[in-house]
Structure 1
Amino acid sequence: MLIAFPAAARTRTTSTAIPNLLTRQFEERLTLNPEMATFFGIDTGERASLRSRFSESSLSGLDRARRTTAKHLRELQAMPDTDLSDEHRLEREVSLFDLEAQHALNSFAYHAGSGPYGPTPLESAYQNSTLLLRDFHPVTSRDDAEAYLTRLALIPGLIDGESAQITRNAAAGAIAPRVIVAQLIAILTAARDADPAKDGLVTAIETKASALKLAGYGARAQTIVADGIRPALTRQIAALQAVLPRGADGAKAGVGVGRLPNGAAYYEACLRMHTTTDMTADAIHAFGVAQVATLSTQIDALLKSQGMASGSIKQRTSALAVTSDQAFPDTEEGRAAIIAYLNDRLDRVKKKLPEAFGELPKNGYEIRRMAREMEDGNPFGVAYPGAADGSRPGVFFINLQSISDWPRYTLPTLAFHEAAPGHLFDIALQLEAGELPLYRRTWFFNGFREGWGLYAEQVADELGMYDDDPTGKIGYLQSHLFRAARLVVDTGIHSRGWDRERAIDYLTEHSSMTRDGAAKEVDRYIVMPAQACSYMIGHTTFTRLRDEASKRPGFDLRAFHDFVLQGGAMPLTVLERRLKSWPSA
């Protein structure tokens, strides 16, 4: 449904009107979000100035971004969909969905980033800027090194702008549960109190500049950290401490967005943004309960085939996880062994991918350990695409803080989901689709992206990756059980008033996680409403659409996958309509 705006003058659509408009809007979004240009490796040439900037976190900056979204939506709505090529009509439809969904969320005064609370243990100005500079900001020249320091000097302002968000959101009735606020205070306090000389922001530029024989950058960075960033962190900690007593007690009361002003409508808007479908919270909850039951039955059968017939599924998989051939030692050597094992799984699946895909990405992808200072409060891992020009591989950073979260049988499916043929594989194909305009090569929709990641696990199974690994097959099914349980937990938290302990209990029982691991995940769902629903909803859509297409004469799996991935990520509702006209032969 289109969002109504005051009447706007209709413009005549020409063969280039849609791509010209979307190109201009894309460049305007990059100007507001320079980090995106660096992540995609396109902060070069005419965009080189973006390499020394950050997006604005001030209240005025956030309001400017909201006004830009509204302007872009009005402009696109004024473009009729008549006399358009199929591809331009698709681009208009996809862009309208994205802008409408963003605009709907922006109508809630407390919406900020990926949720209603501003900074969280998962996302904060300090964490995000640290990650960007340390792992993605290129330093291949003195100009790059200077741009690094320019960005570094902007971080105190980012932190202060975010602190203002905390105060504004609190005034709007949006305060994270006390346990979440306390976690963020602890993370920021540890960052503030660490030795500036050993700060990752300092050591990163010192190492990169030294490789170019540039001196003095470490000392300059250390001064900025000590005199600018540390005081800003102190101010943000104070802002969080001021709202801490007003946060919900997660052990005794609901912690979902349903308790916020107009919270039910906000959650509905979050579901539409993340799943890119019209499914209601009740429908998603019921679907999740049914999937949990089905997958539990399948896992039970596999465990029995391995001689493990007694006890609940949780008891049996927990016993499996601590056996000598599954548990890695809780040492640095053990963590290195996990990384080596994951990358070995990637090497193996790469040899099989041509059986399911006609086009393979040119850019590489790998799995690395998450930096230690980023482990607290972060989920099990995060994937970042490679650079569009191939200068940087895609990377999945795995959180190895708690090594007991990673028994061997859970690792193959992680590699397939996060790297290949999952996220890093499909994002690389999209970025390398040179026939597509740049704005389309950077499209991102959670329902598509996370649904593909879960579907990629299925493809790996179909390619025989578990044929000689029965416990790995159990891990694969447990991965799907985990995503099904997320549907139940996320909707339970945000639409049914679940407290934090109830959510942790359910996720612990219906996953391979330890209770501490489940608690981290539940805290993620609390601050990122609906995001966790995108995985299983997306996977189910991909499998259904493939099943429907396979009934057509001449169906070819490789051609199907190429068509889906090379068109770019899009809302699932749009993908479904697009596939109905796909010629399978």
Structure 2
Amino acid sequence: MCLDRRQLLLSGAAAGVAAAAPKMALAASGDAAVNAFFDKTCIEILDDAPEFATNLGLDKGAYAWRKSKMSDLSWAGVEDSFAFCAKGLKTLASLPDAGLSPAAKLNKEVVAYALQLGLDAKPFTYGENTWSSAMAEASTPYVVSQQSGTYSGAAEFLDSQHTIETKADCDAFLARMRQVATQLDQETERVKRDAGQGVIAPDFILSNTLGQLQGMLAVPAAQARFVASLADRAKAKGIAGDWAAQATKIVEAEIYPALTRQYETLKGLQAKSGHDAGVWRFKDGEAYYGWLLKAGTNTGMTAEEIHNVGLEQNKAIEARMDAILKANGLTQGTVGERMIALGDDPRFLFPDTDAGRDQILAYLNQLIGSVRPKLASQFKLQLKAPVQVRRVPVDIQDGAGQGYMNTGSLDGSRPSTYYINLKSTKNWPKYSLPTLTWHETIPGHAWQGAYLTETGALPLIRVLMSGFNSYVEGWALYAEQLGDEMGMYQDDWAGQLGYLQAQRFRAIRLVVDTGLHAKRWTREQAIDWAVANSGRTRQSMTSEIDRYVGTPGQACGYKVGHNEINRLRDHAHAELGPKFDVRDFNDTVVKTGAVPIDILSHQIDAMIAAARG
């Protein structure tokens, strides 16, 4: 299959990749043409996106040059992406399905879907809407926002993913720092280009973004995260050199001037920025949101259908929560009001101090340890799935998500990292943390990632095109459900409420995302509705609503995917009766890897047929 470890070793090509690429059986001869295309495509992708290569640990050996490079973020680079999709689709169309193995057919179908999704974005000549942005769950009308842009991700990327072992690694770090300045300027030019088309972020997004940029520029260059990361790690490895001085000079002379130019450009747009939140206000806004929903849910569901599903499931989950609240003496007010009161209960709050934040991090590690012994009841797969828990860096916490996962490298040199936003511990009452943890770590995202990194069972092309949102996030939401089914809340009524609140929250997302972008809700209307129904803090819901403004459609993938996984499980159970084993179902979903959610049904049908014998 694509960049098979043994193929690479046998050929002697790309030795650095061979040390990290997935292990696969040698391809069947009938698959040779499609696999050759995948091999070539993988190399093109990683050459054009060297940060992705570093993320996967594929920047070594013959491909070590990638470690000193950063991606082209210019509009010309976006147009190249569209051309890449068109060319790839043409090649795939020339390769017949006849004679392909089932695995090759699946891989071909998945890759074609991703490329077509990217090409379908070509009419929308603004923002960040490519196949790669869709795979990264980050398609957006705004190149720079409170949660997107080089300013918010470059330092974290270099600090957490660019490894430092040798002097060459340090030199590569400095080379990438210089290109960060170039990327900032490329984005700034695109912001200007988009503004010329009337695409300007709403005033509240601009205000938040400008605040973060201003905060970064206020830090002395010598204290910038870039400098500390390089200098501290070089010192720890005993690598001699004036790394701090060199990095400081680049920050002063190149990065900060580029950040200043970006700040001034965004500041100049404030007078033209309005308060409307939805993409309906842009040219072809309805069609654009339709594409964003397809990218977010990988289905053909309309905004109206998604909105109505959200309303229906919100009510159903609310009824379950109401019963638990009443059973525990909480009877006054709406379910949302009672959950707000529960969230203010001192019994469930950590101190809003650094000591309290440390307590949360320790508790999260404890939770991860507690679920491991239960996994055998849900999986036959035996994965190590190492996870490290870290706080979202303070310099980006104002615009970052509340919690997220960075999957570990393919070569196992870096474990998955679970990030939690601890700007305020009041956003995290203790009963809310178990469900978040199952979602982000085990058996959620970290479990998905561990199957890729530990087994090497999927070809690299499927790893590179693995961000099908409704599968990825649908599984993580299903993982929250597995936490409940494994008995993690058996003696914890508050934790059970936290689980249901999280499920309800994803139904709420269907309502407010479509409300903002299809029904022309205001930001305030969406915040009020989310607070009233979720029982979460206004601060937390404001951050969430602003996220949906910045990445429309993405938040809809969670519940849509979760619903489909449960539908397929019910279908398999009905078909197999006493032969149904939930472990086989769960393993099949994980082993299939990220696919458009509609394609997953084919794999479940195959599982059913195999179980019947």
Both proteins in one fold, TM over 0.5? yes
- Out of 38-47 and 119-128, give the one that drifted further: 38-47
Summarize the Cα distance change of 1:111–1:82 in structure 2 as closer, same or farther, 3 Å threshold: farther
46, 49, 62: which one aligns with 1:30: 46
AA aligned to 1:219 is: A
Q: Report the equivalent of 2:422.
A: 400
User: For this pair of structures, how many residues does the alignment match?
Assistant: 569
Question: How do 1:135-150 and structure 2 match up within 5 A?
Answer: 135-150=160-175
Q: Report the equivalent of 2:211.
A: 186
Is 2:500 the counterpart of 1:484? no
In the alignment, the residues of structure 2 paired with residue 330 and residue 319 of structure 1 have an alpha-carbon distance, to the nearest angstrom, of 17
TM-score, normalised to structure 2, is 0.91
Q: What is the RMSD of the two structures over their aligned residues, measured on CA atoms?
A: 1.4
Q: Is the 8 A contact 1:284 1:487 kept in 2?
A: yes
Q: Report the equivalent of 1:77.
A: 93
Q: Is the 8 A contact 1:430 1:565 kept in 2?
A: no
Q: Report the equivalent of 2:535.
A: 512
In the alignment, the residues of structure 1 paired with residue 496 and residue 462 of structure 2 have an alpha-carbon distance, to the nearest angstrom, of 35
TM-superposed deviation, 1:242: 2.2
Q: Report the equivalent of 1:231.
A: 257
In the alignment, the residues of structure 1 paired with residue 149 and residue 495 of structure 2 have an alpha-carbon distance, to the nearest angstrom, of 35
In the alignment, the residues of structure 2 paired with residue 418 and residue 512 of structure 1 have an alpha-carbon distance, to the nearest angstrom, of 21
SS of equivalent to 1:105: coil
Q: Report the equivalent of 1:241.
A: 267
AA aligned to 2:35 is: P
Is 2:137 the counterpart of 1:111? no
TM-superposed deviation, 1:138: 0.4
Structure 2 unaligned blocks of 5 or more: 1-28, 134-138
Q: Is the 8 A contact 1:489 1:503 kept in 2?
A: yes
TM-superposed deviation, 1:360: 2.8
SS of equivalent to 2:405: strand
Q: Is the 8 A contact 1:405 1:517 kept in 2?
A: yes
371, 374, 378: which one aligns with 2:396: 374
Is 2:611 the counterpart of 1:584? yes
Q: Report the equivalent of 1:199.
A: 224
Q: Is the 8 A contact 2:445 2:476 kept in 1?
A: yes
SS of equivalent to 1:121: coil
In the alignment, the residues of structure 2 paired with residue 483 and residue 404 of structure 1 have an alpha-carbon distance, to the nearest angstrom, of 20
AA aligned to 2:355 is: E
Is 2:179 the counterpart of 1:154? yes
Q: Is the 8 A contact 1:365 1:425 kept in 2?
A: no
In the alignment, the residues of structure 2 paired with residue 169 and residue 268 of structure 1 have an alpha-carbon distance, to the nearest angstrom, of 20
Q: Report the equivalent of 1:168.
A: 193
In the alignment, the residues of structure 2 paired with residue 363 and residue 350 of structure 1 have an alpha-carbon distance, to the nearest angstrom, of 10
Structure 1 unaligned blocks of 5 or more: 1-12
Q: Is the 8 A contact 1:121 1:377 kept in 2?
A: yes
In the alignment, the residues of structure 2 paired with residue 24 and residue 469 of structure 1 have an alpha-carbon distance, to the nearest angstrom, of 52
In the alignment, the residues of structure 1 paired with residue 63 and residue 521 of structure 2 have an alpha-carbon distance, to the nearest angstrom, of 46
Q: Is the 8 A contact 1:363 1:390 kept in 2?
A: no
Q: Report the equivalent of 2:460.
A: 438
In the alignment, the residues of structure 2 paired with residue 121 and residue 111 of structure 1 have an alpha-carbon distance, to the nearest angstrom, of 14
Q: Report the equivalent of 1:50.
A: 66
In the alignment, the residues of structure 2 paired with residue 312 and residue 510 of structure 1 have an alpha-carbon distance, to the nearest angstrom, of 9
In the alignment, the residues of structure 2 paired with residue 181 and residue 259 of structure 1 have an alpha-carbon distance, to the nearest angstrom, of 17
Q: Is the 8 A contact 2:412 2:453 kept in 1?
A: no
AA aligned to 1:352 is: K
Identity percentage over the alignment?
Answer: 37
- Out of 531-540 and 360-369, give the one that drifted further: 360-369
Q: Report the equivalent of 1:221.
A: 247
Question: How do 1:292-371 and structure 2 match up within 5 A?
Answer: 292-371=314-393
TM-score, normalised to structure 1, is 0.95
SS of equivalent to 1:353: helix
Q: Report the equivalent of 2:156.
A: 131
Question: How do 1:474-553 and structure 2 match up within 5 A?
Answer: 474-553=497-576
Q: Is the 8 A contact 2:389 2:417 kept in 1?
A: yes
Q: Report the equivalent of 1:6.
A: none
In the alignment, the residues of structure 2 paired with residue 552 and residue 584 of structure 1 have an alpha-carbon distance, to the nearest angstrom, of 10
In the alignment, the residues of structure 1 paired with residue 256 and residue 535 of structure 2 have an alpha-carbon distance, to the nearest angstrom, of 38
TM-superposed deviation, 1:14: 4.3
